Amino acid sequence: MGWAQATALIVAVITVVGAVVTGAFTYGLNQRAGRRERQARAFAEALTAIEEYAMMPYRIRRRHNTPEARHEISVELDKIQSRIAFEHAWLQIEAAEVAVAYDLLIRAARSEAGRQMKDAWTQPPPSLDEDMTLEGCYPRVEIDAARSKCITAMCIALGRRKAEIQTLPSFPR
């Protein structure tokens, strides 16, 4: 084998190896990005379930004064609680460190929104359109604090740097 043939063979081998390495690297990056996207979507769904639960005092307070309306709210609450249990289990599988923070968020929501729901059931249902606008918001100190910690854990699991996390805006109430 001559020098020209050896050089051509080496160039061909380097080209093939380079293509394989580049392809494997690109595939790995795409897989990682896809996993992060799926994980971020799962995190968002978990937070949505908690938000739906935290909004139930408003739903209860604005209910119609019928047995059907009370039943509908009860069924809706059962579905939300089932979703929260599903999301918690999913997080335990997908991101155990996030599941711990989510568990604290669940506890805060049950404590704070649970008290508010109990209170909302004792209030008379609105009878006029003007009564549908409730005066003020239900406080969410416990829920918001636990939510913030949970979002921080989610950001860390997604690979965000701490400096990025600290600059995230909070949700206005």
Q: Count CA atoms within 13 Å of residue 163 on its CB side.
A: 0
Calculate mean pLDDT across residues 3-26: 74
> pTM value?
0.76
Report the chain's mean pLDDT, rounded to a whole number. 86
Residue 50 has a pLDDT of: 98
The pLDDT tens digits for 126-164 are 888 777 777 778 999 999 999 999 999 999 999 876 555
Calculate mean pLDDT across residues 50-58: 96
Calculate mean pLDDT across residues 107-113: 97
- Sign of CA pseudo-dihedral 38, 43, 94, 162: positive
Q: How far apart are CA 83 and CA 66, in angstroms?
A: 26
Q: Report the candidate in 114, 167, 116, 172 with the shortest Cα–Cα distance to residue 144.
A: 172
Residue with token string 């080496």: 10
- Asked if 35 and 157 touch (Cβ cutoff 8 Å), the reply is no
CA angle (18 as vertex; 15, 20 as ends), nearest 5? 110
Residue 2 has a pLDDT of: 79
Residue 35 has a pLDDT of: 73
Share of the chain above pLDDT 90, in %: 60
- Asked if 99 and 92 touch (Cβ cutoff 8 Å), the reply is yes
Q: How far apart are CA 83 and CA 95, in angstroms?
A: 17
Q: Which phi-psi region, left, alpha or beta, contains residue 137 (left: φ > 0; alpha: ψ -120 to 50)?
A: beta
The pLDDT tens digits for 65-89 are 999 999 999 999 999 999 999 999 9
